[in-house]
Amino acid sequence: MPADTRKYRSAKAYGKIDRDGFIHRSWMKNQGLPDDVFDGRPVIGICNTWSELAPCHGHLRELAEHVKRGVWEAGGLPLEFPAMALGETQMRPTAMLFRNLLAMEVEESIRANPIDGVVLLGGCDKTTPGQLMGAASVDLPTIVVSAGPMLNGTFKGRQIGSGTDVWRFSEDVRAGAMSMEDFLAAEAGMSRSSGTCMTMGTASTIASLIEAMGLCLPDNAALPAVDARRRTLAHLSGRRIVELVRADVRLSQIATRAAFENAILMHAAIGGSTNAVIHLLALAGRLGVPLALEDFDAIGRTTPLLVNLMPSGAFLMEDFCYAGGVGAVLKALGPALRADAVTVCGRTIGDIAAAAACYNDQVIGTRDRPFGPSSGVWVLGGNLCPQGAIIKPSAATPALLRHEGRAVVFEDIEDYKARLDDPDLPIDERSVMVLKGCGPKGYPGMPEVGNMALPAKLLNRGVRDLLRISDARMSGTAFGAVILHVAPESEAGGPLGLVETGDVIRFDGPARRLDLLVEDRTLASRRQNWRPTQKRPSRGWAKLYVDTVQQADKGCDLDFLAGASGAEVERESH
């Protein structure tokens, strides 16, 4: 293939006929690369988060090979590089602690190396957001190839879903309604293949939002990880990234305000994970796109629940794929869609929606026949959350969406675990569980513990939901009347840190209010005596994180990482 006439970014390394060019080319040739791959063709970085410690990503080595086929075929040079994997089910204290570290690694790896465009291979909850945040701060042509969901779980002849059924089974065991033998049998049938959670958890939510934003090829979100069509999609993505580089279509040209609005509409329609709110806010901050917490409520408020998937519904991602996937939801959104938004495949999102079809109306509904009312996330205000809090109404018991009750306070996660099943715990079905010390600074990293398990004495009485409030997050696979992301968090001096057992809390979801019914002078007195309670890290990444992390309403990015530094590196290495 003849050399491109355009000079690419990589030419500053491989195109120089001098000592520096010799160094850059010569050492690369020890991998068996011939002279003509340095003839000015686009160099494509494949950012791969494969790891055996991230089981969702166990097949990404194979997907990378299919991307490479497409890159070679289109006349590019594919060069794969690793980035840390954030295995949601394996990392402690929480994978969220490391999302920004991944973003830093991806950003600096892209900027420092002679590549012209990048393919992001990821999938597990925090991985794709971290990769995109890093790529956004460099702003080269970028395309996402997601890991894809696992096959549906099975147990005793019925489908079971990642996470969602774990929470249910765990409660049933504690209530004596499920044997430990059955619990372990369900464990063996839950995760039957490579891929991410097959419920509409955070991984599937993010993949769906990325597709709605036009940052991947159509069908990327829902094709099962082991489906041959995902390998085909990887191949085609390899071809397409070369075309994007040649046309100089940057990430920022796709991820516009309109793209973010489409993501919010999609989030409401699919009953998406609450974690997506934080990730989209952080990504927008890297791109300089104006996006506020309140936008999630304002934009998604009139969009009903269109997708019948766990935890808000009955089906799983494999069913979603066969029913038409994200394309069918885009079509169902109709005139609400920002149809002129451009995508990496060269068509508008409106064109993609027009060509889509729904093949199972039990899985994907319409605006006229939705599976639930206007949902998305509700963004709350009030004296208990001056900078906001959120709840996912589609996953909550409707009767608890307006509630007033007395607080039962747990000062931190250890206090909660120690006292949860204390028979003397002053709690009943009217109580409000309050958990402190689990925000970005407090844990640190803002773990998925907001969907607190209920006390055994309530489970034994048949209680399965309770209003719960915290500065934590919850898994996208979880459910319940759970108020999350209270900002400022308790460790940052937020009002949540002043709540005491017995205080009355009023929650009015339709009015978007969360209030602590305690006199101002009492709160002022408590504030004078308040001190941070959590041990602060003294070194390393955790210290940098705690010292600089922003609150949930800003996306929990580090304050010095917001924005971008671009792709240019002026100085040579020798």
CA atoms of 184 and 234, how far apart (whole Å): 35
Q: What is the mean pLDDT of each run of 10 residues along the chain (574 residues)?
A: 69 95 96 95 98 95 98 98 95 96 98 98 97 98 98 94 91 92 93 95 97 98 98 98 98 98 97 96 98 96 94 94 98 97 97 98 96 87 98 93 98 97 96 98 96 95 96 92 98 97 98 97 96 92 98 98 94 89
CA atoms of 445 and 439, how far apart (whole Å): 7
Query: How high is the pLDDT of residue 293?
Result: 98
Q: Which of 402, 405, 427 is nearest to 416 (CA)?
A: 427
Contact indicator for 372, 271 with CB cutoff of 8 Å: yes
CA atoms of 570 and 370, how far apart (whole Å): 54
Query: How high is the pLDDT of residue 2?
Result: 45
Contact indicator for 206, 276 with CB cutoff of 8 Å: yes
Query: How high is the pLDDT of residue 476?
Result: 87
Query: How far, rounded to the nearest angstrom, does the alpha carbon of residue 222 sit from its chain's CA centroid?
Result: 15
Dihedral, CA atoms, 392, 394, 396, 401, nearest 10 degrees? 80
Beta strands in 487-562 (DSSP E): 504-508, 513-516
Give the residues across from 119 on adjacent strands: 46, 143
Query: How high is the pLDDT of residue 373?
Result: 82
CA atoms of 221 and 335, how far apart (whole Å): 22
Give the residues across from 381 on adjacent strands: 513
Other C-beta atoms within 10 Å of 508: how many?
15
CA atoms of 452 and 463, how far apart (whole Å): 13
Query: How high is the pLDDT of residue 5?
Result: 53
Full set of structural domains in the chain with CATH: 1-41 (no CATH), 42-152+192-355 (3.40.50.2300), 154-190 (no CATH), 380-537+544-548 (3.50.30.80)
Is the CA virtual torsion 74, 77, 83, 87 positive or negative?
positive
Quote the tokens at residue 208. Answer: 């769906």
Query: How high is the pLDDT of residue 167?
Result: 87
Match 């080319």 to its residue by tokens: 25
